[in-house]
Structure 1
């Protein structure tokens, strides 16, 4: 179990800020949660979220969603073809995918607050 946890670990980011425990030490995230966090940050850092905000054409927005799926598929921990970008609302995108080792992951990008 310890080897599994240490394989994919990262600092936990909540609402854009480092999450601290009661002792003011950074909290960690592991396995599926770490991979999901990486996917979210990959999208935010790619500029595609900002590109989506600026796009009003439904056809061009769909192109951005496809770009997002293709970018997420570059993560070698994810099963190609398992990525789903689901538009929840005018501000929220849900991303689901399957990892090779840990099953399904799910994360959300609120792209109004993600850019501000």
Structure 2
């Protein structure tokens, strides 16, 4: 079982008793990937970039980073910009043990 502490707004999430909440399995993998993407700085570059070639290059770099996670099936990551919402991307990937994960990236 994969687990980690649940992070919300860059802080540990506590339950009503003041104990750290845990996140497990697919949600844990998604949280790890979100943090990894943020740490690369590539998403920030997407937000201020209007060059389609540079945007495509950064998306490829993000895909490579996601698929470098040993829990993700290589070749399964897709990142698509949401129509009529520049800077918003849907990311999907498949985890070996837990199936498909999906979340939004906001540049």
Q: TM-score under structure 1 normalisation? A: 0.82
Give the distance between the partners of 2:63 and 2:79, measured in 1 at CA. Answer: 7
Q: Deviation string for 1:33-78 (max 9, x for gaps)?
A: 0001111111000111122123211121111111111111100101
- Structure 1 unaligned spans of 5+: 1-6, 112-116
> 1:23 Cα deviation (Å)?
1.1
Alignment of 1:57 onto 2:51: yes
User: 1:26 Cα deviation (Å)?
Assistant: 1.2
Equivalents in 2 of 1:80, 1:107: separation in Å?
A: 18
- Deviating more after overlay: 76-85 vs 88-97: 88-97
Q: How many residues align?
A: 105
- Residue 87 of structure 1, CA deviation: 1.6
Report the counterpart of residue 13 of structure 2 in structure 1. 19
Counterpart contact for 1:10–1:28, Cα < 8 Å: yes
**Which moved further from structure 2: 86-95 or 99-108?**
86-95
Runs (5+) with no aligned partner, structure 2: none
- 1:97 paired with 2:93, answer yes
From 32, 35, 43, the equivalent of 2:37 is 43
When normalised by structure 2's length, the TM-score is 0.88
Is the CA contact (8 Å cut-off) linking 2:76 and 2:93 kept in structure 1? yes
